A and B are shown apart, each in its own frame.
Chain A
Amino acid sequence: MLTATNLSICYGPRKALDNFNIALAPGEIRALIGPNGSGKSTALQGMAGLVKPEAGAVTIDGAQMSGMTRREIAHRLSFLPQQPTAPDEMTVEQLVRQGRFAHVGLFRRYRREDEDAIAWALESTGLAPLAERPLSALSGGERQRAWISAALAQEAKVLLLDEPTTFLDIGYQIEVLDLVHRLSRERGVTVVMAIHDLNQAMSIADRITLMEKGRVVFDGTSDALAESGLIEQVFRVEGRFVQIASDGPPHFDVHLKRWSGKRGFESAKHAPAS
């Protein structure tokens, strides 16, 4: 599917990504976690072929990405940056339509399959009723879904999302995560997403990649991550992993300083399983 081998990316003298390796299985959901500035966005941009790497290579479907045109890449992979901007007067439908550019190119007319893909992308994000609205008239959550919809219309087998849930309220966050899950399980789409919420990452991802200072420090399942003790070390927090449901993912419970004197109260109320 998609692999990155020894990928290094520099911004001037700063090495933003250092020897990054990743290998994704078809239909896999991968969460990219790490502190601010740990290189998550750079890794995604590198995997999307948007930044020229200092060293290393990205392959997709067994072919070197560096030898592909942007359209060839867009056929196979769609990338949604953090906080993208669009012309204000553009409508939801017009934005989603841009997602078909890789397929229609400069001249070809929009065929039935294109219109179907657009309609599907609008429907799976719940935006069909808002299709004719200008983007400027949407709420933050609706706008984010419009962008995801445009990425879906591209019908690529790999979807890279840079913090798709940031700035969304909890309802929309879960909606996005559910959509990601459906795409992966029903359509076999491989999803890589940078995400800040550890517990959401552990509950949705098949595997997790933990990054620190441009390097991968962990690559494995949520359970293995819980056992490694790396979260406390990398994020410089104290806390513990708890198991809420016996078959569910581990849950990281952060220890806040203001509660240190009230342990008795907390344990009496929540009765944590340990």
Chain B
Amino acid sequence: MTSTASTTPHRAARPAYLMTLLFLLALASLALAIFLGVVDLNPSDTLAALTGHGSPEARAIILDIRLPRILTGMLAGIHFALAGLLLQSITRNPLADPSLMGVSQGAMLAVSGFLVFTVYSHDTGSTTLQELPVHWLPLIGTLGGLAAGGFIYLIAFRRDLGPLRITLCGIAVGAVLHAIGIGLMAGWGSGRLEVLLEWFSGSLYARGWQHALFLLPFTAAGLAVLPIIRRPMELLRFDATVARSFGLSYRAQFSVVLLVACALAASAVGVVGPVVFVGLIVPHMARFLAGRQTRIVLPLTVALGAIAMTLADLAGRLAGGAEEIPIGVVTAICGVPLLVALLRKTP
């Protein structure tokens, strides 16, 4: 009997190097996003604002607008990417992303339903963002997304919890929820569509500290469970028969991973809207970079999710000038060529 210990050193070297590189890249994108913006602040003013000095205007721009917005984006990026990776693994579907479990559509229906209800119940005649109860949107969106995910889970769970069944249920229920959501919007009147459209396209516009703080408990809980679900996730990529033969309580572990994925996705959709492609592509990028080092796919996904959201939002802020491009549009435009490139590289 020989030990495989001799092969371990050269395997450990590359992941450590990759992780360090990505960590530095995450810091760099954070710095870049802080220093660059529509309002031209020179670097010394920005630095002064970060350390609590400088003009009140600069401090307001950096500390109250840019920093919380960037952090919200990073957290949401981690949520989308992780949710995508978990869903892709357990449904064994490389095209899975948060919209698969009806989470995006559920959140969307809840948000549009909520706005219709509140506006008609005490109509102020206003169409401005400030007078609509927007501060409730994250919570409403999260609950709507979780409700949709839970509903699909229950339908699939009543019989056999096969990955294909859950995918089909997700698509069917998602389509119905989406249709109702669009119907509500159509009936609502065009005058008030702006706030909804902004949310639906996925945007970090005007996201502040309260949004980052709303996401933080979900992020912390999600990251805390990762070590527990790491090995079951490997096994969940097999047929149920095989996974159970290896000793996995398939149903229980499938449910745990699904719940974590739905909670991460729903909270992120609630805060920034359905940002497409991040949940789909980041896990593929992580797998591509990791190659055979499957154990670093999880940390890579976390890092890349944060980086992708930060850079996409920065691009949207800079490219559009005063009228910024919503991040959902940026990720969609950049996502398609990336996906095609990755698919070509994958054997």
Contacts and interface: CB of A to CB of B under 8 A. Distances in A.
Interface of A: 45, 48, 50, 69-71, 73-75, 78-81, 84-91, 93-94, 98-99, 101-102, 104-107, 112, 115-116, 118-120, 123, 128, 131-132, 134, 136, 150-151, 154
Interface string B230-253: 011011011101101111111000
A71 B4 contact: no
Nearest to A82: B241
Interface residues of B, number: 28
A134 B241 CA distance: 22
A52 to B, nearest CB: 11
A154 B238 contact: no
Contact of A101 (B1, B2, B3, B231): B231
A115 B234 contact: no
Interface in B268-327: 287, 292, 294
A101 B242 contact: no
Interface string B208-248: 00000000000000000001100110110111011011111
Contact of A136 (B228, B249, B294, B347): B347
Contacts of B287: 89
Interface in B112-159: none
Interface of B: 1-5, 92, 227-228, 231-232, 234-235, 237-239, 241-242, 244-250, 287, 292, 294, 347
A102 B232 CA distance: 11
Contacts of A75: 247
Given A112-B3, A115-B5, A120-B1, A73 B247 contact: yes
B3 A119 contact: yes
A78 B2 CA distance: 23
A102 B239 contact: no
B221 to A, nearest CB: 17
B248 A107 contact: no
Contact of B232 (A48, A106, A151): A106
A122 to B, nearest CB: 9
A160 B208 CA distance: 59
Contacts of B1: 116, 119-120, 123
A69 B228 CA distance: 18
B241 A81 contact: yes
B247 A81 contact: no
Given A70-B249, A94-B294, A50 B244 contact: yes
Contact of B238 (A85, A107, A112, A118): A85
10 contacts: A75-B247, A79-B241, A81-B245, A84-B239, A91-B292, A98-B234, A101-B235, A104-B231, A118-B4, A128-B2
A115 B242 CA distance: 21
A115 B3 contact: yes
A50 B245 contact: yes
Contacts of A84: 238-239, 241-242
A71 to B, nearest CB: 4
A87 B234 CA distance: 9
Nearest to A120: B1
A80 B249 CA distance: 17
Contacts of A106: 228, 231-232
Nearest to B237: A87
A131 B292 CA distance: 12
Given A98-B234, A101-B231, A78 B245 contact: yes
A48 B245 contact: yes
Contact of A93 (B4, B239, B247): B4
B5 A70 contact: no
Contacts of A45: 241
Nearest to A162: B241
Contact of B247 (A50, A74, A86, A131): A74
A225 to B, nearest CB: 29
A89 B286 CA distance: 14
B321 to A, nearest CB: 43
Contacts of B4: 93, 115, 118-119, 131
A112 B292 CA distance: 22
